[in-house]
Amino acid sequence: MLGRIGFFWGAIGVVGLLLTSVVRLSNIALEFLHYPAQTWHYVVLSVWVVFMAYSEGYKGFQQAFSPRVAARLLWLQNNPKPWLVLLAPLFAMGFVYASTKRTLISFTILIMVAVFIFIALNLPQPWRPILDAGVVIGLLWGAVATGWQIYAVMRAGMSLIDPDLPRSAHSHA
């Protein structure tokens, strides 16, 4: 039972975080429609949205993050530890109880996102809505891909992806 709680808490936490960001940033991205944009603004918007769909949505989420989140949640379901269940969303994203490499990657991405947020907060119109439109597409793709991967491992009861656990997890298994 504890494992199922961890699985679902982690799944809801991760997908919920992504969708909350999509909703929040969508409002800013939609401000673009109130700006007297020129043709080249629309070109930049289109190129940026396609770039973010591919790089963040497909490559970042669908190919890397989402399968690993699902694999980690499945591992948690099968190996529940109360403290990991409590921290299930952070565990799923690789911030806790992960290999050194995974932890470094997760925190590096977090720092990069924080830097990009700081930059975005200081962008003038129409650049902030353009930037956020691309991020919304990438995050929405990520939320859908993550939900789908979680559903797939839940149905299959297995994952072919390495959950990237610390060495100590392998010695206790």
Mean pLDDT of 97-115: 95
- Per-residue pLDDT, 170: 65
- Per-residue pLDDT, 14: 98
Q: Tens digit of pLDDT for each residue in 37-64?
A: 899 999 999 999 999 999 999 999 999 9
- Per-residue pLDDT, 167: 83
Task: Give, in order, the Cα–Cα distances in Å from 25 to each of 10, 117, 152.
Answer: 23, 11, 28
Mean pLDDT of 110-117: 94
**b/e code 129-168 from CB counts within 10 Å (16+ = b):** bbbbbbbbbbbbbbbbbbbebbeebbeeeebebebbbeee
Instruction: Evaluate if residue 172 carries a pLDDT over 70.
Output: no
Q: Which amino acid is at 7?
A: F
pLDDT band at 29 (very low <50, low <70, confident <90, very high): very high
- Per-residue pLDDT, 125: 86
- Enumerate the domain spans of the chain: 2-161
| Range list of H helices, the chain | 2-29, 39-52, 66-78, 82-86, 88-92, 100-121, 127-156, 167-172
pLDDT band at 168 (very low <50, low <70, confident <90, very high): confident
- Per-residue pLDDT, 171: 59
Q: Tens digit of pLDDT for each residue in 58-81?
A: 999 999 999 999 999 999 999 999
pTM for this structure?
0.91
pLDDT band at 102 (very low <50, low <70, confident <90, very high): very high
Q: Judge if the upstream peptide bond of residue 124 is cis by omega within 30 degrees of 0.
A: no
Instruction: Evaluate if residue 28 carries a pLDDT over 60.
Output: yes
DSSP one-letter code for 96: S
* Rounded distance between C-alpha atoms, residue 171 and residue 143, angstroms: 33
CB-neighbour burial class of residue 112 (10 A; exposed 0-12, middle 13-18, buried 19+): exposed
